[in-house]
Amino acid sequence: MAKGGRPTIDPGSVLNSYTEPNNTSGFKNDIMDISTYPIRNSGDEDVPSPACSTWKPVIVNEMDFFPTDRNCSKESHRVNVKKESAQGVMIGCLGLNTGLNLTANTSSEKSNEDDRTNNTSNKKSFNELIALQAELDRMSMENERLKVLLKQVNDNYNSLQIHFATLMQHQQTRKAKTGIVDEVINGDKSNGGGLTRQFMDLHRVEKDEPSHTSSEGGLRDCSRSPMKDKVELEYKKQKICSSSSEIIQLDLDKSDSRNGTTTTGREDSPDQAIPGPVLNKAPRFTTSRDADHQHPETLSMIRKARVSVRARSDGTTINDGCQWRKYGQKMAKGNPCPRAYYRCTMGASCPVRKQVQRCAEDRSILITTYEGNHNHPLPPAAMATASYTSAAASMLLSGSMPSADALMNSNILARTALSSSPSFATLSASAPFPTVTLDLTQPHNASQFQRAVQGQFNMFSSSLPHFMSAPQVFGQALQNQSKYVGLHSSQGMELPPFASSNQIHTPSLSDAIGSATAAITADPNFTAALVAAITSIIGNVHSNHSGNSTQPTARNNNDKN
DNA sequence: CGGCTTTGACCGGCGC
DNA sequence: GCGCCGGTCAAAGCCG
């Protein structure tokens, strides 16, 4: 307990849990966007899973939602026809003669009370008939609508099936090529996690022991009971369908694991030894170049978009340059570590919140999830590193952000960087709110991310002629980052493993990203923040991996000194 | 005394 | 309708 409050458990000692929900609660709110999946024609053959031939889709071609009602209606009308035809009322089951002959009542020349009674009865029956017909029409329309809906669901299901099969094929191909199955982010977590992790489990399922497949795996083990496999697969597919709109799962570890070494920055060219991304699909957010036409839902989604940072830290929270006030702490299901809720107090009514929780599996990992936009200027310390996660967030929100051109460019960077550094980031729109997770627990993740960004910088910067001066931002960014170091050191923050000894003052990229995430939306000019990100990253790369610092790095070092 | 943390209560969404 | 769960509120308490 840092200050005040009733004595209780130290949140720092037990804080956390990965932001991905656990299996029991991580899927209930998931929305699946299958619109981007390829639509299969009804005549297409089912594509069996390469992992298990027993996977057969259940295709429902058509369904009559009101067979009973319709029969009843027909029968009812049939009766009515008999009943009314004598009075000139023509009624068909599928069509109603609206030119009803209502002159039957005119024959009541006797004008006695019996006739009036009969007329009243006839009119009543007629009204009932009209109502029934209307109801029938309504049901028919509803039936047609549901048919269309069912067809869409079937198409989407088939598309997902193809997509899944493609993923499995991709996995097998890559495995055959590399001989090593990737450990994805949080790959050490066997059963926990939400959709992302679940998807990862699918991703890595091929290497799982058969005994592990009872709950999570089993897709490949076709030697087991086909029926059981089918059931499990269907269940898994349902979970995916219900929870996954899309995942861009990037595995950085594979390049290193394949090489058996940790890449060390500048020696490697950005486009070298980095496999292509496991880009399952494009983000579901369609690109909109017209900010004025943003839908309220989209804007709301932007506000709700979250950036999660996984970083090793012994402190209760990572220092991100912002001021936070804790306003709550809860025990999250599936994680023995409590989740702490913080609110930004730098602005009068700043809506930015963050959640801090320790990873259940590895409590040295602190997961910080940021949400919201700062409505106040940020200190340089926060601004400098805010952009680290800007790229990730921009990728997450690609096409949904107001500034179209800038975001397109930022997406270029984000996609390039992240695609070049698989496993550094996991993008998930499946959660209740779209979330991009930056995993900085692996040293090479950070270094590869830096390297990837660096390699793309020239191309990227050329497309941003209107951006603010990169060296300017760069110098300030690194200067500000250097200020973090002492603070973090005093808080027991660990230095990044990739930082060389002679650069002991180089800030932890994890911390930097943490602070960046906190301030991710602080800058209304998102592109400027993105430039700051690029330049900062480049600076870090140079300062971390090269004694021959580039000018910005040297400048930074000078600033630090 | 102001500012902060702690923590139980409360609220709303969601699934059954 | 009920229970679960995540998120938030606010009173209580602590510290400088």
Answer for A327: CB within 7 Å of strand B: yes
Where on strand B do bases come within 7 A of a protein Cβ?
3-9, 13-15
| Residue A404 burial by Cβ neighbours in a 10 Å radius (0-12, 13-18, 19+) | middle
* pLDDT for A219: 32
Q: What count of residues does chain A have?
A: 561
pLDDT means per 10 residues, chain A with 561 residues, are: 43 36 32 31 36 35 37 37 35 33 40 59 82 85 79 69 65 51 36 35 35 34 38 40 34 33 33 31 33 44 70 80 88 86 83 86 85 77 59 54 36 43 55 72 57 42 33 32 33 31 39 49 42 41 35 33 33
Amino acid at A398: S
Answer for A10: CB within 7 Å of strand B: yes
> Cα A517 vs. chain centroid, distance in angstroms?
17
DSSP 8-state class, residue A55: -
Strand ranges, E, within A431-502? 435-439
Residues in CB range of A82: below 8 A, 6 or more apart: none
Q: Which nucleotide is nearest to A317 (CA to C1')?
A: B5
Closest by alpha carbon to A10, among A21, A2, A18, A19? A2
Give backbone dihedrals phi and psi of A324, rounded to 5 degrees, phi first: -130, 150
User: Has this prediction a pTM greater than 0.75?
Assistant: no
In 3-state terms, what secondary structure has residue A106?
helix
DSSP 8-state class, residue A422: B
* pLDDT for A521: 39
Answer for A333: CB within 7 Å of strand B: no
* pLDDT for A163: 65
> What is the distance in angstroms measured between the alpha-carbon CA of A561 and the sugar C1' of B10?
52
> What is the distance in angstroms measured between the alpha-carbon CA of A197 and the sugar C1' of C5?
20
Tokens for A58?
């259940």
> What is the distance in angstroms measured between the alpha-carbon CA of A2 and the sugar C1' of C16?
12
> What is the distance in angstroms measured between the alpha-carbon CA of A553 and the sugar C1' of C12?
50
* pLDDT for A341: 92
CA distance A343 to A219: 43
* End-to-end Cα, chain A, rounded Å: 34
* pLDDT for A481: 34
